Each structure stands twice: as structure tokens, then as C-alpha cells.
Structure 1
Amino acid sequence: MATSGVIFKRCGCRDDQRRRLERSCPRLRERGHGSWYFHCSATNLLGRCERVRRGGYPSQATARHARDEWLTATQADRTAQGWTVQRWLRHWLDNRTKIRPTTRFHYTRDVDTVLIPQLGRYRLADLDAPLLRTVFAEIAATENSKGRRQS
């Protein structure tokens, strides 16, 4: 299920009460004032509807092009662009149903204390071999709770 979405323009101007005017700014019709955004939804790799809102585009045409690119991406690419490593690891842990309690405990501990602090903020689409080599080298240089190097 993919929707063509909405393309709109907004700005960061504020009124006298310091509230953002966004789409109701009287100067929005001026060329160069504000920026263009799109909002649409499509299914992700898990079959769930994923909504996205992106902006900061200089023209309506570039916002439309970005929206069309996002909509024509594969489900895996859309999921990778929208999910962080932290979100994926949490999902992965929640869906492990056939593991022993001690295994779950160790996986959860390693995810919470090592992987999420080091990799959690990255989007799945941003992961590549040089980044992973750097992060795992940093992890290997740290010590575990027993004072030994991480393995």
C-alpha cells in the first residue's frame, strides 16, 4: 500500500506569541521564503505502514523527486532508511521466541551495554564495512565488567 502523499511548503516564522506560523505565514508565497516538504506512506519490510515526512527542499520539484524516489524504493530500502540500529535490535530481541532465558539475558545485556551505545544512533542504510570496522575496533579496545578486553 503506497500513497502518493502530499507536497507542501512551510517556514519557521513566528507570530507575536512565539508560535510557529508554518503553513499560514503571509510571506510563504514569496520566492525563496520557506522550504518544501513531502509526507507519504508505504509498507515496510515487515508489512506495516511506514509514514515519512521529509523536508528542507529548495523547490517543489526537488521535493516531488525525493518523494517519488522514496516511494519507488524497495521495501527493504525504505525500512533501512527509516530504522535505526537501536530500533532493529529491539525488534530482533522482541521476536526471538525460541531461545533459552539465559541466552536472552546475555543477548539483552550485550545489546544494551555494548551495541546500542556504539551503533544505536546510526540508520540501517548508513551501515557499511568501514563504519563497522571502526566501531568494532572501538568496542574491542574497551574492557568488560571483569576488567578484560571485550571479545
Structure 2
Amino acid sequence: MSLLKEFKAFAVKGNVVDMAVGIIIGAAFGKIVSSFVGDVIMPPLGLLIGGVDFTNLALVLKPAQGDTPAVVLAYGKFIQTVVDFLIVAFAIFMGVKVINRLKHEEAKKPSEPPAPSKEEVLLGEIRDLLKEQNGKPPVAASVTPPSAQ
């Protein structure tokens, strides 16, 4: 098989396409979460802490000199990124939890009892014939306790 045919067979497999869709949706979801954290969660949190803007929190390690920019440890952006990660991780956890619950419920569904084998059907017919010979009406497939007979 040529290299082009092998690549085509690989690229059109369902798993590869599903993975590509997942990556694209994941990237879009990441942007939404970043905006949610940066624009909705962090401003009120900063206000509660005392008017702190997390994106501007930084420690200057070496001040700017002439054309050389300052060396800054931007821990506020890091805090914001950690909150982004926690929200994404929690959303993925909840999604996986729902999927696992659905799979578990599907597995718990009772399956139909297997059809009786030829031997069981034959034995049931023999039982019914013997009961008829003894003058008792045949009993259904369920067993009745001796006190009920």
C-alpha cells in the first residue's frame, strides 16, 4: 500500500476525526473559561480582597534600564491561570462523572431471561403429562410450595 493510501486510511478513521473535533472544541472551551475567569470571577474576587487586579500582581526582580525591559515575576497571571485550570478540570470531571453514571445505568438494566433450553421445555411437558395422569391440573413454569397444592 502506498504511503498516501495509508495516510488516507489513518486520517479518515473515526477516532482521528473525533479527536480533532475534541481538540477544536477544547480550545474554544478554554477561551470561554479564560474569559469567564478573567472577566467574571477575578474582578469580584479582587474587589473582595481589597481592590486587587490579579493581572497586575507582579514582583519586579530587576527594574527596567534604558531600552531593557524589567524582569518581572507575574504571579497574578499565574493565579488566574491556576483558577482557569481548576474550572476546566472540574468541568471535565463532571462530564466524565455523568458519562460514567450513564454507562453504569446501562450496565444495570436487566436483560431478558434466556429462553428455556429444549431439555427444559421437554421436562416441563413431561411434568405436565404426569400431573394429568395423577388427576392434578398442570402447574405453570413457576414452582408452587407444597402447602398451596
TM-score (structure 2 length as normaliser): 0.24
Which structure shows the bigger proportion of residues in helix conformation? 2
Which structure shows the bigger proportion of residues in strand conformation? 1
**Which has the bigger relative contact order, CA under 8 A and spacing at least 6?**
1
User: Greater Rg, structure 1 or structure 2?
Assistant: 2
TM-score (structure 1 length as normaliser): 0.24
